[in-house]
Structure 1
Amino acid sequence: MAKISRITTQKKHTDRYNIFLDDGQKETYGFSVHESVLVEHRLHKDMELSEALMTTLIKQDTFHKAYSLAIHYLSYRMRTKQEIRDYLARKETDDDHIDAIMEKLESHGLTDDKQFADAFVRTRMNTSNKGPGLLRQELLEKGVEGAIALDAVGQYTYEQQFDKAMKLATKKRKTTGSKSFSSQLLQLKGTLIQKGFSHDVAHDVISEIQDDKDDDAEWQALVTQGEKLLNKHRIKLDGFALRNKMKEALYRKGFTIDMINQFIEQELDG
């Protein structure tokens, strides 16, 4: 059985104490503990420590270190329960300690996945162009239960979705000007769905944009695409074969037959 010979305060961490032991022959450093462990067990000079008690002290201090890590991790922002568990696991915390830490955090009201999910969705609604589907997926990836995630994205109203999706579609249209109007609409709808907006919202946004078709812009887009195709195919094709190839290619790009014929007559017959 060892006896405590000295207790000193650590220089960098004044709430931690170094315990030195005397085994009857010489003094050696034993271990360190947090102030709470020191007080709980009333550690003092000349106190005798059994192997079992030292094991208990070290185990309690290890738990306190891990709990402090969790508190520090939570100090930056809210976390899901799964995020905290994963963080502690990365810090090589014992599974038993992780369970106990989660219970302690929950008892102090420091873990609440519903509160996290609601706050997460509100923030993303204001700071991103993502729809509810994508936000729900992000919550699931953070370990939030499906029912809680679904309930959280429910605060994303149809009107908010429509406005957000319309702004995104309007912005994206500026980068697709060289494509046919129908191709633009198809691409925009795909983008909105990929961003997590529902098919209904995407459909309604596209339906409204359809009324904004600009014939002059459509003709310019066809000319741009058509000239590229002509430069590509007229090297090997001419006559009927070239006409047919041009019609097929431009039609697949979403241009109308009337506009395609007008372009071909202008470029090949003019």
Structure 2
Amino acid sequence: MPVITKISVQKKNQSRYNIFLDHVYAFAVDEDILIKYHLTKGKELVEQDLIKVQHEDEIRKAYHLAIQFLSYRMRSALEIRTHLQRKEYSDSIIDVVLHELAAQKYIDDLEFAKAYVRTYANSGKKGPLVLKRELAGKGVAEGKINEALAEYNKEKQIVDAIHLGNKFAVQNKKLSERMLKQKLEYTLSTKGFPPEIIQAAMGGIDYEIDEELEWETLEKEAEKMKRRYNKYAGYDYRRRMQQALFRKGYSMDMINRFIDDDAAEDE
């Protein structure tokens, strides 16, 4: 049977030890494993001991990797599993690690989901539908997601949607009022706010465009359209201009006013 002839501390990681069997380096183990199995110089190891020691050391290495991964922020169980799988640990080892982490309260998908919702609810950047989708993607069970989302009440959602909407409106003042309203509703939808929250929020969003600014914007758009459709005349020209500008969100009254005024200037 092989005999431990030397044990030395690793230079780069003083919690791990190099084990030499019959004067030849054999493997390294974590300090906890060294103590648990009483690995000392002169100890004889049968093959079964070697397999058991090395298997447990793999578990300890995976465990430390998981702890390091958790040191940056909370993680779901699935995130840790995926991380360890990428490090090529077997599912059997990962299962043991996850069990130990859960027992020590280092992972808890419900608390993770609550913290995740709390973080984005405080920032107001994501609505509940996006949060639900993202948490599901992180492997959190639907029941735990719903329990976590209960903390993000409708009143807070409306406030956040209004805040995001006003910010979007300020950044897109050059859009027509109708187009701005459409884009506002679409943007809030992509942020994860449900239809009833969006409708409630729209009343608190200042998206009404100054008529003078809207007219100036229409004139600029219309000048571009004129160059595009100048090869057409009469009804065909008017129809194309109307369709193009209407798609930009301008009212037919404003569009016809521009076309009529422009035609009058050309006479």
Q: Which amino acid aligns with 2:137?
A: E
Please give the residue correspondences for 1:76-95 in structure 2 after superposition, counting only pairs within 5 Å.
76-95=72-91
Pick from 150, 153, 161: which aligns with 1:154? 150
Residue range with higher mean Cα deviation, 194-203 or 9-18: 9-18
1:2 is aligned to 2
Relative distance call for 1:53 and 1:246 in structure 2 (3 A) is: same
* Residue correspondence of structure 1 range 215-254 to structure 2 within 5 A: 215-234=211-230, 236-254=231-249
| Conserved 8 A contact 2:166-2:207 | no
Contact residue 179 and residue 225 of structure 1 kept, 8 A: no
Q: Deviation at 1:268? A: 1.0
| Superposed CA RMSD | 1.8
Map Cα deviations across residues 83-134 of structure 1 (whole Å, 9 max, x no partner).
0111111111121111111111111111100100111111112235211111
TM-score (norm 1): 0.91
8 Å CA contact 1:178, 1:224 repeated in 2: no
Verify the 8 A CA contact 2:128 2:193 in the aligned structure 1. yes
Code of the residue aligned with 1:216 in structure 2: it is: E
For residues 20-77 of structure 1, what are the alpha-carbon distances to aligned partners after superposition, in whole Å with 9 as ceiling and x for unaligned?
222xxxx211222222212112122222111111111111111111111111111221
Q: Distance in 1 between matches of 2:196 and 2:98?
A: 41
- Go from structure 1 to structure 2 and tell me whether the alpha carbon gap of 1:57 and 1:223 turns closer, same or farther (over 3 Å shift): same
Give 1:53-72 correspondences, 5 Å limit: 53-72=49-68
Partner of 2:193: 197
Task: In structure 1, give the amino acid aligned to 2:256.
Answer: N
Task: Tell me, in whole angstroms, the C-alpha distance in 1 between the residues paired with 2:16 and 2:183.
Answer: 61
**Amino acid in the other structure paired with 1:232:** R
Determine if contact 2:158/2:201 at 8 Å carries over to the other structure. yes
Of 251-260 and 41-50, deviating more is 251-260
Task: Indicate the SS of the match to 1:2.
Answer: coil
Task: Assess if the C-alpha contact under 8 Å between 1:177 and 1:221 holds in 2.
Answer: no
Q: Greater shift after overlay, 52-61 or 173-182?
A: 173-182
CA shift, 1:78, in A, is: 0.8
The 1:98–1:79 alpha-carbon spacing in structure 2 relative to 1, beyond 3 Å, is same
SS at match of 1:174: helix
Q: Deviations over 1:163-214 (max 9, x none)?
A: 2212222222234333321111011101110110111121223344478343
Name the stretch that deviates more: 134-143 or 124-133: 124-133
Does residue 1:124 correspond to 2:124, yes or no? no
Which residue does 1:21 correspond to in 2? 21
Identity %: 38
Higher mean alpha-carbon deviation, 218-227 vs 181-190, is at 218-227
1:173 and 2:169 matched: yes
Distance 1:217 1:7, change over 3 A: same
Moved more, 247-256 or 208-217: 208-217
Shift in alpha-carbon separation, 1:42–1:247, aligned structure 2, 3 A: closer
CA shift, 1:252, in A, is 3.3
Distance 1:222 1:198 in 2: 32
Task: Output the CA distance in 2 between the equivalents of 1:247 and 1:46.
Answer: 94
Question: Distance in 2 between the 1:87 and 1:101 partners?
Answer: 12
Q: Return the alpha-carbon distance in structure 1 between the equivalents of residues 227 and 10 of structure 2.
A: 78
**Count of residues paired in the alignment:** 265
Query: More deviation in 39-48 or 205-214?
Result: 205-214
Give unpaired runs (5+ residues) of structure 2.
none
